[in-house]
C-alpha cells in the first residue's frame, strides 16, 4: 500500500506534464496564441517542476517528506482547476507553472521515501523500476485521457485529469505512508535554493525563446542570466557549510554520468510527444483521441521493459542497460524523420514504441545509479536529480524542439511568402501572423477565404519542415547522450567496486 501510494503520487505529478500537448491546437484556436506561447503552455508544468524540485526536495528532507508530499498533492488539485478555467493564454501559462511547482513539492519525496523505506537490493531496484516506468507512462496516460475528454468537452478538461487521482493519492499517503523516516537534521541552504530556482527558470525559458528573431534578445538575456546563476550556485555550494547540492557527491561517476544520460533520454520522450501530437493533428488530421492513441505504444513499451530493465541492471550493469535504451530511442527518432503527410498510423505508432522501450531501459539504471551513489540522509539530492532527469530533461527538450519547430515553421513559411507572386501585396502584419504558428495561419486563412487553400498548403508544408528539423535535433541529442554514457559509465564489475567504495566513504571508513 505504501508503494502504491508513492507510485500513484508520482503518476499525478507526471500526468500533468503531457496533458497540455494534446490540447495545444484547441488552445491555439481559442486564444489565437503564437507558437512561442503554445510552447510555454506545454513546457510550463515541466518548468515549474524542474526549477523547484531541487530546493523543495531539500526542504522535504529537513521538515518532513510526507508533509510536503501531502501539501503538493493538495495544491495540484487547486492548480488543475485554475488551468482548466483560464480566461487568457497568459493565465494558462501561470497556472501551468503553479501546477509544476505543486508537483515539485510532491514528486522528489516519492523516490526519497522509496530509498528510505527499502534497503539496497533487488526489491528496491524493482520498486525504482516500477516508479520509473509508471511515472514515465503517466505522461502518455495524460495524453490519452485528455484526448478522450476533448472529444466531448472544451480544452480545459485536459487539465482536470490529475485532480481526482491526486485526491485518491492524498488519502493513501495520509493513511499508509510513515512520517520522518531517515530525514536530515541539517539546515536547508535557502539562498542556494533561490539561486537554483532562478538558474533553471532562466535556462528553460531562454531556450524556449532564443531561436526566434522576435524573442532572440530576451532569450539571450535569460541564457546569460543562467550562466551567472550557475556560477553563483557553484560558488555558494562550495562555500556554505550545509550545501543544498553536495558537489563532492555530484562529481561521482555513478552520479553525474547517468544523470546526464537520463536527462537526455526522458527529455527526448517528452519532446517527441510534444512535436508529434501537433504534427498528427495538424498534418495527418488525427482527432485528439487518435493522436493520443498513436502515443499508446510508448506507454506499452515503457511497461513491457520495466522488469527486464531491473533484471538487466542487476546482471549486466547500468552502462549496458542504458546503451540498449539509447539505441532504441535513436531508432525511434530516425523513424520519425520519415513521417510525412501520408504516413500510415502503424508507422507513427512504431516510432513511439521504439522510444518508449528505449526510455524504459534507460531510466531505471539512471535512477538506481544516482540513488546508490548517495548516502540515505542526502537521498533528497539524489531524488531531486532523478526527478530533474524527467523535469529538466522534459522542459529542455520540449523547449529546444518546440523552438526548432517554431523557427523551422517561420523560416519555411517565410520562403513560401517570398516566392509567392502575391508577395508584394502581403502586409507585414499578415506576414507575421502567417509565420507565428499553424493556428495563427488558420486564422489568417479564415480572414482571406480567396487564398485559403494556398495558406493551408503553405502552413502544412512549413509545419512538416519544422517537425523534421526538430526530430533531427532530437536524434543528435540522443547520439550525444549515448556517447556520454558509453565513455563515462563503467562496466558492471567496476560499477560494483565504485558502489562499495562510496558506501565506505559515506560511512566514514
User: 31-53: per-residue pLDDT in tens?
Assistant: 877 767 777 787 788 788 878 87
> What local confidence, expressed as pLDDT, does residue 122 receive?
73
CB neighbours of residue 184 within 10 Å = 19
Q: State residue 508's pLDDT score.
A: 57
Residues 6+ apart with CB under 8 A from 42: 20, 21, 24, 274, 398, 402
Averaged over 353-376, what is the pLDDT? 82
User: What gap in Å lies between CA 317 and CA 12, rounded to an integer?
Assistant: 30
Q: Residues 83-129: pLDDT tens digits?
A: 889 888 889 888 988 888 888 788 777 777 777 777 766 777 777 77
Judged against a pLDDT cut of 70, whether residue 379 lies above it is answered with no
462-500 tens-digit pLDDT: 888 888 888 888 888 888 888 888 888 888 888 888 878
Give, rounded to a whole angstrom, the gap between the first and last alpha carbons of the chain: 37
Q: How far apart are CA 182 and CA 301, in angstroms?
A: 35
Residues 6+ apart with CB under 8 A from 43: 204, 208, 394, 395, 398, 399, 402
What does the DSSP 8-state code read for residue 337?
Answer: T
What is the reported pLDDT for 224?
93
**What does the alpha-carbon distance between residue 136 and residue 266 come to, in Å, rounded to a whole number?**
8
- Angle at which helix 24-31 crosses helix 35-63, to 10 degrees, equals 120
In angstroms and rounded to an integer, the radius of gyration of the C-alpha atoms of the chain is 22
| pLDDT bracket for residue 402 (50, 70, 90) | confident
13 Cβ neighbours under 8 A, 6+ residues apart? 49, 72, 76, 103, 106, 107, 110, 135, 138
User: What is the pLDDT, as a whole number, of residue 343?
Assistant: 86
Q: How many Cα neighbours within 13 Å face the side chain of 351?
A: 23
Q: What are phi and psi of 508, to 5 degrees?
A: 85, 15
C-alpha span between 281 and 301 (Å, rounded) = 23
pLDDT of residue 150: 78
Pick from 237, 222, 276, 184: nearest CA to 466: 276
User: What's the whole-number average pLDDT of the chain?
Assistant: 81
Q: Is the pLDDT of residue 437 over 70?
A: no
Q: Is the pTM of the predicted complex or chain greater than 0.75?
A: no
The angle at the Cα of 179, spanning 185 to 141, to the nearest 5 degrees, equals 115
CB atoms within 10 A of CB 114: 23
Q: What is the pLDDT of residue 231?
A: 93
Q: Binning pLDDT at 50, 70 and 90, where does residue 376 land?
A: low
Backbone torsions φ then ψ of 118, nearest 5 degrees: -110, 130
Going by C-alpha positions, the residue among 223, 18, 8, 7 that lies closest to residue 100 is 18
Domains in the chain (CATH in brackets) are 2-411+461-506 (1.20.1250.20)
Mean pLDDT of the region 196-214: 81
More confident residue, 40 or 77: 77
| 225-280 confidence digits (pLDDT tens) | 999 999 999 899 888 888 877 788 878 888 888 888 888 887 777 777 778 877 88
Q: What local confidence, expressed as pLDDT, does residue 221 receive?
A: 92
The helix or strand, by DSSP H or E, that contains position 215, with its residue range, turns out to be none
**Structure-block grid coordinates of residue 441:** 495561419
Amino acid at each position: 500500500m505504501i508503494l502504491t501510494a508513492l507510485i500513484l503520487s508520482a503518476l499525478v505529478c507526471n500526468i500533468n506534464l503531457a496533458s497540455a500537448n494534446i490540447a495545444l491546437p484547441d488552445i491555439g484556436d481559442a486564444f489565437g496564441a503564437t507558437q512561442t506561447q503554445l510552447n510555454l503552455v506545454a513546457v510550463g508544468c515541466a518548468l515549474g517542476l524542474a526549477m523547484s524540485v531541487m530546493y523543495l526536495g531539500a526542504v522535504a528532507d529537513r521538515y518532513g517528506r510526507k508533509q510536503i508530499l501531502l501539501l503538493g498533492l493538495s495544491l495540484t488539485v487547486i492548480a488543475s482547476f485554475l488551468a482548466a478555467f483560464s480566461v487568457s493564454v497568459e493565465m494558462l501559462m501561470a497556472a501551468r507553472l503553479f501546477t509544476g511547482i505543486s508537483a515539485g513539492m510532491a514528486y522528489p519525496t516519492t523516490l526519497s521515501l522509496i530509498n528510505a523505506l527499502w534497503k539496497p537490493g533487488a526489491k528496491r531496484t524493482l520498486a525504482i523500476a516500477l516508479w520509473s516506468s509508471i511515472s514515465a507512462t503517466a505522461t502518455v496516460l495524460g495524453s490519452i485521457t485528455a484526448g478522450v475528454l476533448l472529444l466531448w468537452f472544451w480544452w480545459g478538461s485536459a487539465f482536470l485529469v490529475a485532480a481526482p487521482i491526486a485526491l485518491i493519492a492524498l488519502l493513501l499517503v495520509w493513511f499508509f505512508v510513515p512520517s520522518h523516516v531517515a530525514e536530515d537534521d541539517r539546515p536547508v541552504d535557502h539562498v542556494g535554493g533561490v539561486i537554483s530556482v532562478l538558474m533553471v527558470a532562466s535556462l528553460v525559458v531562454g531556450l524556449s525563446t532564443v531561436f526566434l528573431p522576435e524573442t532572440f534578445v530576451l532569450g539571450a538575456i535569460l541564457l546569460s542570466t543562467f550562466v551567472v546563476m550557475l556560477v553563483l550556485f557553484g560558488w555558494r555550494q562550495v562555500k556554505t557549510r550545509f550545501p543544498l547540492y553536495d558537489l563532492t557527491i555530484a562529481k561521482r561517476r555513478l552520479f553525474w554520468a547517468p544523470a546526464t544520460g537520463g536527462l537526455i533520454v526522458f527529455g527526448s520522450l517528452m519532446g517527441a510527444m510534444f512535436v508529434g501530437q501537433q504534427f498528427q493533428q495538424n498534418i495527418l488530421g488525427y482527432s485528439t483521441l487518435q493522436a493520443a492513441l498513436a502515443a499508446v505504444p510508448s506507454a506499452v513499451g515503457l511497461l513491457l521493459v520495466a522488469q527486464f530493465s531491473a533484471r538487466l541492471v542487476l546482471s549486466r550493469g547500468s552502462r549496458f542497460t542504458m546503451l540498449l535504451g539509447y539505441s532504441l530511442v535513436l531508432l525511434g527518432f530516425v523513424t520519425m524523420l520519415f513521417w510525412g503527410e501520408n504516413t500510415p498510423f502503424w508507422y507513427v505508432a512504431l516510432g513511439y514504441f521504439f522510444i518508449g522501450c528505449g526510455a524504459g531501459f534507460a531510466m531505471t539504471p539512471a535512477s538506481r545509479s544516482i540513488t546508490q551513489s548517495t548516502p540515505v540522509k542526502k537521498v533528497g539530492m539524489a531524488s531531486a536529480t532523478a526527478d530533474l532527469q524527467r523535469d529538466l530533461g522534459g522542459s529542455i527538450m520540449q523547449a529546444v524542439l518546440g523552438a526548432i519547430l517554431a523557427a523551422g515553421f517561420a523560416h519555411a513559411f517565410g520562403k513560401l511568402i517570398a516566392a509567392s507572386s502575391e508577395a508584394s501585396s502581403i502586409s507585414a502584419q499578415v506576414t507575421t501572423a502567417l509565420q507565428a504558428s499553424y493556428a495563427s495561419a488558420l486564422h489568417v486563412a479564415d480572414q482571406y477565404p480567396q487564398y485559403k487553400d494556398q495558406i493551408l498548403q503553405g502552413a502544412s508544408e512549413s509545419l512538416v519542415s519544422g517537425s523534421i528539423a526538430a526530430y533531427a535535433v532530437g536524434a543528435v541529442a540522443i547520439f550525444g547522450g549515448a556517447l556520454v554514457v558509453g565513455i563515462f559509465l563503467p562496466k558492471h564489475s567496476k560499477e560494483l567496486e565504485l558502489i562499495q567504495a562510496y558506501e565506505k566513504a559515506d560511512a566514514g571508513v
